[in-house]
Amino acid sequence: MIINNKIDPEFRYKKMLTKIRESGGRITSHRLALIRLLAASEGHPNATQLYEALRRQFPTISLATIYKTLALLKDEGEVLEIDLHNDSHYDGNKPYSHPHLICTHCNRIFDGDIISGIQNLNQEIEEKCNFQVSRHQLVFYGLCEECQQKVS
């Protein structure tokens, strides 16, 4: 199921379609294409980036359509929303809380779910703060490997 730190997009694709059908939603050509993109969520796109990518194939598609389907999939727990500075990005490949690394030079968003010790953090918070953690959003800003050389 997991290929190279990424869940098999085909699996995610089918899973999302099933979830939409089960909740009484309908499958349209636009949704198929959007869910295809979200299944991989290459680069953790935001709504506008998804819109631009889909517009090539579907020139009449509307931004509202993107937002509506994203809201639907968020409610179903099939898409993770990443809240950045006045800008929401989406991950339909791994729709559960996990860390992200954002390069402040090239602005790319990387997955950081190789990092262990998150579970320890949750536990420490419950113990020290008496706070019951249900989800988290962990974002680390800095320089990715490529940009470290470009900048120096």
Partner DNA sequence: TTTATTATTGATAATCATTATCTACAACTA
Partner DNA sequence: TAGTTGTAGATAATGATTATCAATAATAAA
Which residues have CB under 8 Å from 122's CB, separation 6+? 133, 136
- Least Å from the CB of residue 10 to a second copy: 26
Backbone angles phi, psi at 27, to 5 degrees: -100, 120
Supply angle C-alpha 44, 138, 71, rounded to 5. 50
Member of 5, 18, 57, 88 binding DNA (CB under 7 A)? 88
6 binds DNA (CB under 7 A): no
Q: Which stretch binds DNA (CB under 7 A): 28-36, 96-104, 120-128, 136-144?
A: 28-36
- List, as one string, the DSSP characters of 9-20: HHHHHHHHHHHH
How many of the chain's residues bind DNA (CB under 7 A)? Answer: 28
Residues that bind a second copy (CB under 8 A): 81, 83-86, 88, 101, 103-104, 110, 112, 114-117, 120-122, 124-125, 128-145, 148
Give the footprint of DNA on this chain (CB under 7 A): 20-21, 24-31, 46-48, 58, 60-65, 67-69, 71-72, 86-88
